[in-house]
Amino acid sequence: MRKTLILGFLAVIALAMVLAGCGEAKESTTTSAAAQQPLTLKMATTFVETEAGGKIAQHFADYIKEKTEGLVTIEIYPGGTLGGPPELLDLVSSGSVDMVPLGHPPLADKLPLLNFPMWAPGSPQAAVDYFNELVFDNPETAPLIQAEAEANKVKYLGFTAGGSNVFISKTPFQKLSDLVGKKFGAGGSIPAFEALGYTVVQMFPPDGYENLSRGVVDATQMGFVPTVNLRWYEPAKYYMFDGTYAAGNPWTINLASWAKLTPEVQQIFLDAAKDAEAYSLELDKTETEAAIAMLKENGVTVGELSAEDKANWYQLLFEASAKDCLDRAARLGITDKMITVLKAAAAKTGVTWAPPAQ
């Protein structure tokens, strides 16, 4: 009898401890959730919902809602409804919106240090790693770029993949030298194309299809997926991947909005940026594979440049971009800072570069 009572007593104690433990866990979760006040943030983007950038923005917002259990939600204003690319920085800096995936190339004068050469060789992952290295990890460049962001009242959380680039032509080609003598359409990096011996005709993406169709240009170079979306493969049926990849669109949040988040939720936002990075890489891979299959079904020849041509092209591209960066830096009085960033960019991408003699 006594043994039975003792066993029963021990069982009651054990049950009480289990219940107490469950109660503590529940209380801890509730306390953690209650520490963050309910919040709805506005995100502006120039991407529409069906574009890769729009899908990535929605993925980011969904992650935040799930991980904060609905305490923090993000309202997305897509398609440039609140402003185009040049206005995005002003929108988030002023607090008119809380965050944006920032298309930074049009903002070179306001964010010159972030506008280092935007392409990297190797792979989509290498391009994202390149941005992460210079903006977050490099002990010399990260403080400079972060200080520039802070001066604009914003903070960067992470980057997404921007996809691969291609040379395309109306006539067959295997090497970059095969395009010498052709009318080559380009909207930027013109010195790099001229260094290849091309006859450059200034051209911007909205005019690409018509210019290729009418023979205003014979060949051009651009991001792969955009050329497919714009149907440039109809007048130009020869594609060669050039070995360069883009990244960017940093998740950019207003500093006052960031301060409204508890440290735990701030970490969720940083985790969301890394998750969106992985999602963007997966999405780019899927879209690229599907686009290549579609092109081949439509009689388009798809290949890639030789390793020698890829290396030569990236060297020229980096040099042209670096010169633009230095010219801008000289005008803004930040040459020393830009040289620091460019040296790190060259080291990360493996190109040979040194600043010109003063």
Domains of the chain (ranges, CATH numbers): 37-162+247-287 (3.40.190.170), 163-246+299-349 (3.40.190.170)
Helix ranges (DSSP H) in the chain: 2-35, 52-67, 88-94, 124-132, 141-151, 190-195, 208-214, 224-229, 255-259, 263-297, 307-332, 335-349
Q: Which residues, at least 6 apart from 152, have a Cβ–Cβ distance to it below 8 Å?
A: 89, 93, 110, 111
User: What's the pLDDT tens digit per position in 157-192?
Assistant: 999 999 999 999 999 999 999 999 999 999 889 999
Residue 181 · residue 275 · CB < 8 Å: no
Residue 317 · residue 244 · CB < 8 Å: yes
- Is the confidence at residue 134, as pLDDT, over 80? yes
User: What's the pLDDT tens digit per position in 201-219?
Assistant: 999 999 999 999 999 999 9
Residue 84 · residue 45 · CB < 8 Å: no
Residue 211's Cβ-count burial label (10 Å; 0-12, 13-18, 19+) is buried
- Is the confidence at residue 14, as pLDDT, over 90? no
pTM: 0.88
**And the tokens for 10?**
């021990």
**Averaged pLDDT, 60-68:** 97
User: What's the pLDDT tens digit per position in 68-91?
Assistant: 999 999 999 999 999 998 999 999
Confidence of residue 34 (pLDDT cuts 50, 70, 90): low
Residue 88 · residue 46 · CB < 8 Å: yes
What does the pLDDT read at residue 32? 54
What does the pLDDT read at residue 188? 87
